[in-house]
A and B are shown apart, each in its own frame.
Chain A
């Protein structure tokens, strides 16, 4: 039997509690037990091939030669019960509501700073606090339209938010395509088990974007940095799924504070831009003058209310890893509620007591640079060498504002197909939240898996893979 030899990890295993299969997985297990190991490996092989031919690839480019890698998709899904999902959903809606109010407040009255809930200089020294956005009112008062929060699960099975990812989170295309591939691998199972569908995402996304314009039939586009961007597949995929144009900076032009795309029939006004370009590259006139990716004048057009940008420029300020530590207080301040989803305990090196603790206990902690993403600028204490400990002690002491630290997390595990057979591997969870007329959480997520035994780094840029995530109807 396929799972007989499986030894769950000492962490929280999503499928097994010691030798007993957990509820959400029971039907899946019964179905899979009928498979031979050989059959499972064959299915995995055809899934790999499907990914390659669908062009679900990451790109590394040299000359004309494309090096295209697939984001490995493991066949065994991550399954979440409807009840567990409800907590995540409510928690995320609460969190996004509060964060959106927070961003609006920072660029207007700054009540939260005045009342001393968050130290003023923490926000004002953040490079993500964009001065040109002060006093700005984005359409419908929405700043963070698309969010992809990272959630982890500790030994006790409790969920924690690890990061908020409010600026251009990627990965949703993999979620959608993964589902298509897994459906082909387990066709019967799907109809029996009651998995909530995710295929509505592109409609939800388009409706959310259209909501940002007051025109009856606004022109929406996706703005990409171009084919050399590692997420280009996703940009083109989303544009195609929504049936809108995929544009690069050079396709757009501004005139009289309006944005136009250059078509074969002349200029056509653009009303809403889902931009996959970082804030500071958007407009060389306002931000980074060296940017060749953006569109000169686009920020003025945005300020004049003639074009909507999603996410709104300036949103990144709430995504700072130092601000993260304050999110529970942010929720309390704006909503008067206790957070439904907790934060991972976080030490702010900018605060004296925390700094001392971090320097003394660096071997036990995960130290992260506040502005880095993708698993870079990060040290995992228990896995790092003495030299690295010393190096990070120096770095942190020199620029405490740039670092936070967290206790080493015990990420939950899911059975995963490895060369040696089925074995536990650590995972996280990235659900996608859209803020349109109301806040909606897609009932599914990208589960990222660290394919190396014992590894906690799930980032695709560092050898992570993915799993389909099933949210059940129950």
Chain B
């Protein structure tokens, strides 16, 4: 398929996944705020820090109020990663390849785009209504469901899923990292009911609470980290995402095992490291540091995919060299 089309499908996958994860980010805090003891302030700063866009936030706002945080994460067109911008970019990508996406996908994406713009018009960040994020999430899940049932499993599908899983791996690591940034009032609070609350909220935000309970039983930080980073079954764990992304790369290149290009080599290496890691290795490295290097390596994989499949020769420059 055309490199440009593959590129657009990849980013369509990334932007829709990003939008969904940002609505999940916001959910973490909504979940938390409902259970917080009276007098305990909501912490929006850790959330902003975990997105990696704190610098941009400080350029635009002068305090971590709920209103500012929600506007920034969801509705601000000045934030390159806000839900609004991700949805707009997803739609732009789909528009450029209208002939390659199903009509139903286009219609849902269109609807979501108008939903976001209407929300901006009525300054939705001022409302305390968590329901709108649920709606955004539902619309994005509808998009996934339709795609799953209507897309042919050809190269285009695998580029789209590759983008989605790489994005999800990155975002799961960032959601987990929120916990690192959340400040407990004192060291003694580790393992306290408040700490417990934080962890539960985190699990709920990745729709992983019930499944976690089934697999591990009680809330235990090391188990949660294992669940989100290394678990083989949970579809949002970093290991799971990398495994799926690697499969996509193999489908695209027709490689049966091992690697046939640098992108496959990079992802295969990372995936197998996680496969043979246990939770002690993670904590030995330091959770935050561990997540940080994962994010960097996922980024490198994305770059390698670009080099391998999307990069096109500028026809004008080539021509100039020929002459």
Residues of A within 8 A of B (CB): 53-55, 64, 66, 227, 233, 236-237, 239-240, 245-254, 261-264, 284-285, 292, 295-297
A248–B97 alpha-carbon span in the complex (Å): 11
**Shortest Cβ gap from B126 to chain A (Å):** 22
Chain B contacts for A249, CB-based, 8 A: 315
The 8 A CB mask of B73-113 against A (1 = contact, 0 = none) is 00001000000000010001001111110010011001000
Closest to A252 in B: B315
* Contact status of A246 and B3, CB under 8 A, knowing A64-B88, A253-B313, A262-B313: no
Pairs A-B, 9 closest by C-beta atoms: A240-B99, A296-B319, A236-B98, A262-B312, A264-B309, A253-B315, A236-B99, A239-B99, A264-B6
Nearest-neighbor residue (CB-CB) of B113 within chain A: A66
Q: Chain B residue with minimal CB distance to A233? A: B98
9 CB-based A-B contacts, threshold 8 Å: A237-B99, A239-B99, A245-B2, A250-B312, A262-B3, A262-B4, A264-B3, A264-B309, A284-B316
| Contact in complex: A264, B92 (CB < 8 Å) | no
A284 to B318, CA, bound (A): 13
B223 at the interface (CB under 8 A from A): no
Q: How far is the CA of A236 from the CA of B159 in the complex (A)?
A: 20
How far, in whole Å, are A245 and B313 apart by their CA atoms in the complex? 18
Contacts of A295 in B (CB 8 A): 315
Query: CB-CB < 8 A to A263: which residues of B?
Result: 1-3
A249 to B96, CA, bound (A): 14
Instruction: Give the contacting residue for B2; candidates A54, A66, A254, A261; CB below 8 A.
Output: A261
- Tell me if B1 and A296 are in contact (CB < 8 A): no
B residues with a Cβ closer than 8 A to A are: 1-6, 77, 88, 92, 95-100, 103, 106-107, 110, 155, 159, 252, 309-310, 312-316, 318-319
User: Least Cβ distance of A244 to chain B in Å?
Assistant: 9
Contacts of A247 in B (CB 8 A): 2
CB of B91 to closest CB in A, whole Å: 9
> Chain B CB within 10 Å — which of A64, A249, A254 has the most?
A64
A48–B39 Cα distance when bound, in Å, is: 54
Q: Can you name 6 extra interface pairs (CB under 8 A) apart from A236-B98, A250-B315, A263-B1?
A: A240-B99, A254-B319, A261-B2, A262-B2, A264-B252, A292-B316
Q: How far is the CA of A63 from the CA of B97 in the complex (A)?
A: 19
Q: Are B95 and A227 in contact (CB under 8 A)?
A: yes
Question: How long is the Cα–Cα vector from A237 to B106 in the complex, in angstroms?
Answer: 13
Q: Write out the residue numbers on chain A whose beta carbons fall within 8 Å of the beta carbon of B5.
A: 245
Q: How far is the CA of A53 from the CA of B1 in the complex (A)?
A: 27
* Set of chain A residues within 8 Å of B100, measured between Cβ atoms: 240
Contact between B4 and A250 (Cβ–Cβ < 8 Å)? yes
Distance (whole angstroms) from the CB of A78 to the closest CB of chain B = 27
- Determine if A251 and B3 form an interchain contact, defined as CB atoms under 8 angstroms apart: yes
What residues on A are CB-neighbors of B313 within 8 Å? 253, 262
Instruction: Determine how close the nearest CB of chain A comes to the CB of B37; give it in whole angstroms.
Output: 43
Contacts of B103 in A (CB 8 A): 54
- Return chain B residues, CB-CB under 8 Å to A246: 97, 99
Q: Are A251 and B2 in contact (CB under 8 A)?
A: yes
Question: Residue on B with the closest CB to A266?
Answer: B3
Are the C-beta atoms of B319 and A297 separated by less than 8 Å? Answer: yes
**Smallest Cβ-Cβ distance to B96: which chain A residue:** A227
A297 to B229, CA, bound (A): 51
Q: When the two chains form their complex, are residues A253 and B99 in contact, meaning their CB atoms are under 8 A apart?
A: no
CA distance A233 to B103 in the complex (A): 13
CB <8 Å contact, A64 and B315? no
Say how far A419's CB is from chain B's closest CB, in angstroms.
26
- Name, among A233, A250, A295, the residue most crowded by chain B CB atoms within 10 Å (CB to CB): A250
A53-B107, A54-B103 given as contacts; is B98 within 8 A of A285 (CB)? no
Q: Do A264 and B155 have beta carbons less than 8 Å apart?
A: yes
A284 to B316, CA, bound (A): 9
| A227 vs B252: C-alpha distance when bound (angstroms) | 27
B1 adjacent to A264 (CB under 8 Å):
yes
Q: Separation in Å of the A252 CB from the closest CB of chain B?
A: 6
From known contacts A248-B4, A264-B1, infer whether A55 and B315 are also in contact, taking CB-CB under 8 Å.
Answer: no
For A253, the chain B residues whose CB sits under 8 A away are 312-313, 315, 318
Known A54-B103, A264-B155, A296-B319; contact A251-B312, beta-carbon cutoff 8 A = yes
Q: B99: nearest residue on chain A (CB-CB)?
A: A240
In the complex the two chains form, is A55's CB within 8 Å of B312's CB?
no
Q: Which residues does chain B contribute within 8 Å of A251, judged by CB atoms? A: 2-4, 312
Contacts of B312 in A (CB 8 A): 250-251, 253, 262
User: Which residues of A sit under 8 angstroms from B314, Cβ to Cβ?
Assistant: 250
In the complex, which residues of chain B have a beta carbon less than 8 angstroms from the beta carbon of A252?
315
A261 to B2 alpha-carbon distance, docked (Å):
7
Q: Which residue of A lies closest to B7 (CB)?
A: A264
Q: Which of A55, A233, A261, A296 is the one whose CB lies under 8 Å from B316? A: A296
Closest A residue to B107 by beta carbon equals A53
Q: What CA separation (Å) do A295 and B312 show in the bound complex?
A: 14
Closest Cβ–Cβ distance, residue A286 to chain B (whole Å):
12
Tell me how far the C-beta of B32 lies from the nearest C-beta in chain A, rounded to whole angstroms: 33
Question: Which residues on the A side are within 8 Å of B3 (C-beta)?
Answer: 251, 262-264
A222, closest chain B residue (CB): B99
Give the distance in Å from the alpha carbon of A20 to the alpha carbon of B180 in the complex. Answer: 82
Q: What is the bound-complex CA distance between A239 and B77, given in angstroms?
A: 33
Interface centre among B4, B100, B103 (most CB of A within 10 A): B4
**B315 is contacted by which of A233, A237, A245, A296 (Cβ under 8 Å)?**
A296
Q: In the complex, what distance in Å separates the CA atom of A254 from the CA atom of B159?
A: 26
Residues of B within 8 A of A236 (CB): 98-99
Question: Which residues of chain B have C-beta atoms less than 8 A from A233's C-beta?
Answer: 98
Chain A residues near B2 (CB-CB < 8 A):
245, 247, 251, 261-264
A237 and B95 alpha carbons, distance in the complex (Å): 12
